[in-house]
Amino acid sequence: MLFRAMSKPWLVKPGSIIVTAALKAKIPLGWLIRPTIFSHFCGGENIDESIEVIDKLAKFNVKSILDYSVEAKEDEEDINEVLKETLKTIEVASDNPNIPFAVFKPTAFASKALLTKASAGSTLLPSEQEELEKFRERIHTLCLAASQKNIPILIDAEESFYQEIIDKVAAEMMALFNRKKAIVYNTLQMYRHDRTDFLVRCLDEAKRGGYFPGIKLVRGAYLERERLRAKKMGYPSPVHPDKESTDRAYDNALTFCIENIDRISVFNGTHNEESCLHMIGEMKKHSIANDDQRAFYSQLYGMSDHISFNLSRLGYNVAKYLPYGPVTQVLPYLIRRAEENKAVAGQTGRELTLLKTEMKRRKQIKKEV
């Protein structure tokens, strides 16, 4: 029922608006959200609840990445609370072999307005410059903790118009902490037509700087918003014109990373079967062991289990993104998942088809028995 609902754009958009309005009005929705979309896409409301899911996945050699998915507000107290919780995920990961990475969203530690202004190269007010330094310090705190605990940490990507400052800080952190291997990973959204050249520059800078870049590849999460903003503000769209171009750029990036595996560690974050097969082929071509720690595959919890579990059975490194947090505070993340799945051609449809096929198969087995 959940995936049937998510496959209907006419239902997803109004539903997202209604839920957002209810959230702002502080109308209690936990009774509806927790047993449905929350339980399907999230590990729990806290780390202890999520450990149960992590242990369950680990039985099938599928790892997990604790993702504290609470949307940070812009006041100091809320930001520090997210920082504290993210540091806790690093600590927990260091004691649990089934949690191979930590992760954070940069907008949890600075306002989008500040990041946008800094990315545009605009002159910052003294107070804004101070906030930007605090942003760097928070990112440094997380990367330092990850380095000390020997836990790789993923820096998620954001929208293009404030990504530049994030890329700059990520490069600074890689230069500091990736001296022997990749600890800090920057994320490239390959639906952006400039990311292929950016990836090549990342490697060149790493070679000159004597460090090992960590690269997480995703197709991208803000397609519709990127195109709409570009049209509204009259600048060229930063994303590829069609899915075929994005797919081509994505797989070419995978090829580039595997060809340079002696320097690059790659995290293949995709729900696309063909891209997983492409990376498998490249690993075989270059005689890279299935369980080489420089090559990971990842899908979101609650999606593409046919990819995750088959990869794990073949001995590849697989980690599910496992979001957690209080139900009402994780709602913005869940809304983005619904909207993203609506925007990505065929994703929800594929999930629904696979579920229907499996249900029919089990019914048939039951009849035969």
Say if residue 336 is in the same domain as residue 310.
no
DSSP collapsed to 3 states, 224-262: HHHHHHHHHHCCCCCECCCHHHHHHHHHHHHHHHHHCCC
Please say whether the beta carbons of 90 and 152 come within 8 A. no
Q: What pLDDT, in 10s, does the model give residues 231-245?
A: 999 999 999 999 999
pTM score, two decimals? 0.92
Amino acid at 213: P
The mean per-residue pLDDT over the stretch 306-316 comes to 97
Say if residue 112 is in the same domain as residue 185.
yes
- Distances in Å between the Cα of 259 and the Cα atoms of 264, 265, 317 are 9, 11, 18
C-alpha count within 13 angstroms, C-beta hemisphere, residue 230: 17
Q: Identify the band that residue 295 occupies on the pLDDT scale cut at 50, 70 and 90.
A: very high
Question: Three-class SS of residue 268?
Answer: strand
Decide if 364 is inside a domain.
no
Say if residue 200 is in the same domain as residue 320.
yes
Say if residue 144 is in the same domain as residue 249.
yes
Say if residue 231 is in the same domain as residue 310.
yes
- Backbone torsion region of residue 316, taken as left when φ is above 0, otherwise alpha when ψ lies between -120 and 50, otherwise beta: beta
Decide if 368 is inside a domain.
no
Q: What pLDDT, in 10s, does the model give residues 219-274?
A: 998 888 999 999 999 999 999 999 999 999 999 999 999 999 999 999 999 999 99
**For residue 338, pLDDT beyond 70:** no
> CB burial class (10 A; 0-12, 13-18, 19+) of residue 39?
middle
User: What Rg do the C-alpha atoms of the chain give, in angstroms?
Assistant: 20
Say if residue 70 is in the same domain as residue 5.
no
Decide if 246 is inside a domain.
yes
- 191 or 73, which is more confident: 191
Say if residue 47 is in the same domain as residue 37.
no
Q: Alpha carbon 47 to chain centroid distance? A: 18
CATH of residue 84: 3.20.20.220
| Residue range of the domain that includes 35 | 1-41+331-356
**Closest CA relative to residue 176, chosen from 148, 140, 200, 149:** 140
Number of domains in the chain: 2
The CA distance from 159 to 320, in Å, is: 23
The mean per-residue pLDDT over the stretch 41-68 comes to 97
